[in-house]
Amino acid sequence: MNTKYNRITINVSDVKEKLTHASEIAADLTIPEDIPHGDMPGDKIEIGESHIAKARTIFPELVKELTAKMEANPYSRAVVAVCGGSGVGKSEIASLLSYMLEQAGIGSYTMSGDNYPHRIPMYNDAERLHTFRVAGIRGMADAGVMNPENVAKIREWQKAETDADKAHAETDTWFTSYLESGREALKNYLGTPKETDFEEVDDIMKAFKDGADALYLKRMGRDEASLWYDLVDLSDKQVLIVEWTHGNSDYMTQVDIPVLLNSTPQETLEHRKSRNRDGKLDSPFTTMVLEIEQAKLVDQAHKARIIVSKAGDILSYDEFKKLMQ
């Protein structure tokens, strides 16, 4: 779909000059309440002072990285991925970095990776749960613990949406076979090509870096009728920022600068508690999904060019590893 396009013309010396002064301009920038954000339909961002402070910390480091990457690209272009776990502020930080670049005269477009799963959110959530449960049942059969009594308990827990709760194994040891088999299958689904079209995202990034002046970009809403492509004019853009949990995935080859917004499991849990207005915690299954995603982020962190703590400090990879212990 994105294979045919015209290529931009670029004044390389002009881009270099703008990069030279970008950090200085951004440091004195007043951030308005409403700034452009990612292209996920219906997405809303709420930018707070902590997001602005964190973006100001990241920006000078980002400019350094961009300078080297854009000098190496014939069109003075680069791809940045802002990644991290749930509630860490990916959308807000990506939007702020993009806005700062724009104000410094460096065109930037913010793209949401959440537009590129194979299924709309409702169906993808169902596929995740189905993957977990089918493998869990098979695990029980393989372990030789499949009997009417145990099946009745599993059905009861499934209906109550507690069949991913580790606590069941404390009273029913056979449950471990269900839980471990389901978790392994879920791990092999989340953040893989089974769930997401990484190839399409990679193709978009490559086309951008190859000088495409416009590209068709996918839009995915929350129902079957909300799926389309927009032809986006990128002729004046030098930086493509992708905000996405999987922005540092091994399945992508075209990201130049991965930026990891880190959050420890404890910080993530506290954030999700604060967002639950009815006081209820996430379901055991949602907790399992977040744990698996967090583990993948940690495994991929060695590739990040910039790592930022929840408190807004720039971390070395060694400092990150110590923190996550």
Residues 151-175: tens digit of each pLDDT: 999 999 999 999 999 999 999 999 9
Q: What is the pLDDT of residue 279?
A: 45
* Average pLDDT value over all residues in the chain: 93
pLDDT at position 242 over 70: yes
The pLDDT confidence band at residue 128, using thresholds 50, 70 and 90, is very high
What digits encode the pLDDT tens for the residues 44-78? 888 999 999 999 999 999 999 999 999 999 999 99
Among 197, 179, 207, 210, which residue's Cα sits nearest to residue 252? 197
What percentage of residues in the chain have a pLDDT greater than 90? 82
What digits encode the pLDDT tens for the residues 200-218? 999 999 999 999 999 999 9
Q: What is the pLDDT of residue 273?
A: 61
DSSP code per residue over 237-300: -SEEEEE-TTTT-TT----SEEEEE---HHHHHHHHHHH-TT-PPPPHHHHHHHHHHHHHHHHH
Q: What is the pLDDT of residue 146?
A: 97
DSSP code per residue over 22-53: HHHHHHTPPPPS-------TT------HHHHH
Q: What is the pLDDT of residue 278?
A: 41
User: Greatest CA separation found in the chain?
Assistant: 74
pLDDT at position 266 over 70: no
What is the average per-residue pLDDT within 2-18? 87
Terminal alpha carbon distance of the chain: 44
pLDDT at position 323 over 60: yes
Q: What is the pLDDT of residue 64?
A: 97
The token duo for 60 is 């000078």
CA–CA gap between residue 235 and residue 215 (Å, rounded):
10
Q: Look at phi and psi of residue 118 and say left if phi exceeds 0, alpha if psi is from -120 to 50, else beta.
A: alpha
Q: Look at phi and psi of residue 247 and say left if phi exceeds 0, alpha if psi is from -120 to 50, else beta.
A: alpha
What is the average per-residue pLDDT within 6-12? 93
Q: What is the pLDDT of residue 274?
A: 59
Q: What is the pLDDT of residue 2?
A: 56
- What are the residues whose beta carbons fall under 8 Å from the beta carbon of 223, sequence distance 6 or more? 120, 122
pLDDT at position 1 over 60: no
CA–CA gap between residue 253 and residue 139 (Å, rounded):
35
* Phi, psi angles (nearest 5°) of residue 314: -75, 130
What digits encode the pLDDT tens for the residues 104-113? 999 999 999 9
Q: What is the pLDDT of residue 276?
A: 52
> What radius of gyration do the chain's Cα atoms show?
22
pLDDT at position 130 over 50: yes
Which of 10-19, 102-111, 264-273 is predicted least confidently? Answer: 264-273
Strands 78-84 and 257-261: parallel
Q: What is the pLDDT of residue 44?
A: 81
Q: What is the pLDDT of residue 277?
A: 38
pLDDT at position 281 over 90: no
The token duo for 240 is 């493509």
Helix axes 175-187, 121-143, angle to 10 degrees: 140
What digits encode the pLDDT tens for the residues 296-313? 999 999 999 999 998 899
What is the average per-residue pLDDT within 125-144? 98
What is the average per-residue pLDDT within 139-145? 98
pTM for the whole thing? 0.93
pLDDT at position 275 over 80: no
CA–CA gap between residue 98 and residue 80 (Å, rounded):
10
Q: What is the pLDDT of residue 42?
A: 82
What is the average per-residue pLDDT within 115-138? 97
